[in-house]
Amino acid sequence: MKGEGMDKRELIKKLVREEPLRVDESLWLDEALDSQGPVREWVGQAAADEPSLAWRSRLNQRLAASVPKPRHWRRRPWAPAIGFAGVAAGALFLATMNPIGKPSAAPELDSTSFEHKLVKAHHEAGLGENGRHWVPAEFEPVPDL
C-alpha cells in the first residue's frame, strides 16, 4: 500500500473530522477501500427484507386514498339537468340584453363630402314646392269630383 511514510493515526483523525485530504492521502484511501472487499461482500449478503401482505394492503389503501376521486355523474342524475338549465338561462339573458336589432345612428357626414351632397340632392328632389314630400303621380290624391 502507498503512503507508508504517512502518519496513519493523523489520517484517521482527518477522516473522522471529514477534512479535505492531500493527493497522497486520497490515493491511500482509494487503495484502502479496495482492500476492504470482503466486508463489502458480507454486507451485500445480508438477507433481503420482505414486508407482509397486510403491510402492502395498508399501503395500497393509503395510496388509493391519496388519488383525487373522479366525478360520478351517475350518482347524481339531476346534475346534467341543472347544467342544461343554466346554459338555457344564460342564452336567454344574452338574447334579452344584447342590443342586436337596434337601429344604429346615422354617421355624421362632412358638409363638403360627396356623400353629403348626394344625400342633400336626394332630399331636395324628394320635396315638393310646398315643402311636402314628393310622391309619384299615380299615388297623388284624386281631387273630389
Residues that bind another protein (CB under 8 A): 12-13, 15-16, 18, 20-21, 26, 29-30, 32-33, 36, 38-40, 42-56, 58-60, 62-64, 66-68
Look-up: residue for cell 339537468? 81
Question: Rounded CA gap, 25 and 71, in Å?
Answer: 64
Please report how close the Cβ of residue 4 comes to another protein at its closest, in angstroms.
Answer: 14
Q: Of 46 and 105, which has the nearer Cβ to another protein?
A: 46
Name which of 43 and 100 has its Cβ closer to another protein: 43
Q: Return phi, psi of residue 127, to 5°.
A: -100, 140
> In angstroms, what is the C-alpha Rg of the chain?
50
- Kindly tell me which of 63 and 106 has the beta carbon lying closer to another protein: 63
User: C-alpha grid cell for residue 26?
Assistant: 486520497
